[in-house]
Amino acid sequence: MLPAVAAILTGTALAGCNLQIGGGNIDQKQVCEVSSVDLETTNAACTPGQKVAFMPSRFGNEQLPVVFAAVNCDHRYEIAMTKGGVSCIFHPIDGASNQNE
């Protein structure tokens, strides 16, 4: 009885691991590249669920990648970040969705 209950609980817990934007709407084929931390600029160039690479035109402010990630990245997925840039799945903060949706 205990192994059956454990198997059911484990299966139920792991079912949430497949959570994705819009029911699996992740675009793994294209990368949207932006150089501005401005949300409006990123919204105009990228679609939610698409990979986005933030590559600022100037290097020096180590806080810019963190600010970009906080505003533009879906934190349910991996975020690759260095002192000079970020790569993640684009999902803007609420109230700032893409006009193309």
Position 38 scores a pLDDT of 86
pLDDT the model gives residue 1: 61
pLDDT greater than 60 at residue 19: no
Would you give the DSSP letter of residue 92?
A: P
Lowest model confidence (mean pLDDT) among 16-25, 45-54, 74-83: 16-25
> Which of 66, 70, 67, 29 has the alpha carbon at shortest distance from 47?
29
CA gap 45, 58 in Å, rounded: 19
Q: Please report the pLDDT score of residue 32 as a whole number.
A: 95
What does the DSSP assignment read for 17-82?
A: GG--GGGT--EEEEEEEE----HHHHHHH--TTEEEEE--SS---TTHHHHHHHHHB-TTS--EE-
Residue 90 has pLDDT above 80, yes or no: yes
Per-residue pLDDT tens over the stretch 53-88? 999 988 788 899 999 999 999 999 999 999 999 999
Give the Cβ contact number of residue 46 at 10 Å: 24
Q: Which pTM was predicted? A: 0.69
d(CA 41, CA 56) in angstroms, rounded, equals 13
Taking residues 12-34, report their average pLDDT. Answer: 65
